[in-house]
């Protein structure tokens, strides 16, 4: 037998796919299923079923997280991912040793430089429409480079409605807008989960079967690049299909 790893590859989103914040859970949270620490205290947990599934996935597949989380927020995740990782909406590819893929970082740095002014304009636009501090917002920065802009509501998710259109106007057609629940984000075209998966896939694929798993419409492009796609019931994708 050669030492080649023939296990299938699983590219998987994290939040609302493998785990979620306590308020979204229909069963009591258990500290033994703590999945990710949040700096604001709103930690994320797996359900009993998610925990069982995740354990099985880690044993049987090469699990590669593909997440909007920054590398810092990904490091607060408690699931023991051993291999490659994709963070910051595709802005970063991390090796199993935790180093950044240099070719990908060089590519992203060019896109980041082009997007910088518009990312700052998005920040300014929220500043001037946030007198009651209903929203929190930030530019996700990796290795000193601005990657994407993200806004969340501090209360009702519907508070994002009023800001979405003005921000779309500022972003123009240079950004991919993502809205799901309490997440509103703008990522420069060229930086995406799909592009990062395609780049990483070049070096990993070989003969391996590839599965893609995620809950959001913006996960679909990277999932569709795989052999099979998997979605959680009740997710944004499930709802869009019209099944729920
Ligand atoms: Mg998700």
Give CA separation, 205 vs 165, 216, 222, in Å. 40, 24, 14
Q: What is the CB-side half-sphere exposure of residue 211 using CA atoms within 13 A?
A: 14
Q: How far apart are CA 197 and CA 174, in angstroms?
A: 21
This prediction's pTM: 0.94
- What local confidence, expressed as pLDDT, does residue 177 receive? 95
- What local confidence, expressed as pLDDT, does residue 28 receive? 94
Q: How far apart are CA 149 and CA 147, in angstroms?
A: 7
The CATH architecture assigned to 106-188 reads: 2-Layer Sandwich (3.30)
Q: Percentage of the chain with pLDDT > 70?
A: 98
Question: Mean pLDDT throughout 78-89?
Answer: 97
Q: How far apart are CA 203 and CA 199, in angstroms?
A: 8
- What local confidence, expressed as pLDDT, does residue 73 receive? 97
What three-state secondary structure class fits 49? helix
For ligand 1, the distance from its centroid to the CA atom of residue 117, given in whole angstroms, is 27
Question: Mean pLDDT throughout 20-43?
Answer: 94
For ligand 1, the distance from its centroid to the CA atom of residue 13, given in whole angstroms, is 5
Q: How far apart are CA 114 and CA 90, in angstroms?
A: 16
Residue 96 has pLDDT above 90, yes or no: yes
- pLDDT tens by residue, 213-242: 999 999 999 999 999 999 999 999 999 998
For ligand 1, the distance from its centroid to the CA atom of residue 1, given in whole angstroms, is 38
- What local confidence, expressed as pLDDT, does residue 5 receive? 79
Residue 17 has pLDDT above 90, yes or no: yes
- What local confidence, expressed as pLDDT, does residue 131 receive? 76
Quote the mean pLDDT of the chain. Answer: 94
- What local confidence, expressed as pLDDT, does residue 126 receive? 94
For ligand 1, the distance from its centroid to the CA atom of residue 2, given in whole angstroms, is 36
For ligand 1, the distance from its centroid to the CA atom of residue 17, given in whole angstroms, is 6
For ligand 1, the distance from its centroid to the CA atom of residue 219, given in whole angstroms, is 8
Class of domain 9-102+191-241: alpha beta
Residue 29 has pLDDT above 90, yes or no: yes
CB 66 within 8 A of CB 92: no
pLDDT: is 4 or 202 the higher one?
A: 202
Give domain limits for the chain. 9-102+191-241, 106-188
Residue 15 has pLDDT above 80, yes or no: yes
Report the DSSP beta bridge partners of residue 148: 140
């Amino acid at each position: 037998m050669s030492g080649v790893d023939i296990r299938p590859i699983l590219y998987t989103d994290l939040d609302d796919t493998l785990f979620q914040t306590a308020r979204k859970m229909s069963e009591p949270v258990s500290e033994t299923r703590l999945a990710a620490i949040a700096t604001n205290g709103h930690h994320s947990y797996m359900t009993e079923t998610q925990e069982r599934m995740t354990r099985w996935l880690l044993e049987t597949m090469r699990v590669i997280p593909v997440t909007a989380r920054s590398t810092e927020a990904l490091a607060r995740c408690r699931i023991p991912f051993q291999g490659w990782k994709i963070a910051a909406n595709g802005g970063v590819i991390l090796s199993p040793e935790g180093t950044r893929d240099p070719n990908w970082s060089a590519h992203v740095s060019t896109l980041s430089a082009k997007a910088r002014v518009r990312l700052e304009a998005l920040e300014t636009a929220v500043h001037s429409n946030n007198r009651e501090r209903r929203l929190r917002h930030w530019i996700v920065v990796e290795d000193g480079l601005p990657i994407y802009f993200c806004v969340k509501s501090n209360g009702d998710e519907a508070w994002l409605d009023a800001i979405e259109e003005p921000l779309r106007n500022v972003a123009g057609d240079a950004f991919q807008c993502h809205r799901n629940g309490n997440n509103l984000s703008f990522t420069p075209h060229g930086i995406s989960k799909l592009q990062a998966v395609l780049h990483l896939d070049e070096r990993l694929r070989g003969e391996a079967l590839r599965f893609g798993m995620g809950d959001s419409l913006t996960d679909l492009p990277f999932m569709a690049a795989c052999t099979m796609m998997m979605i959680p019931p009740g997710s944004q994708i499930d709802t869009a299909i019209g099944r729920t």
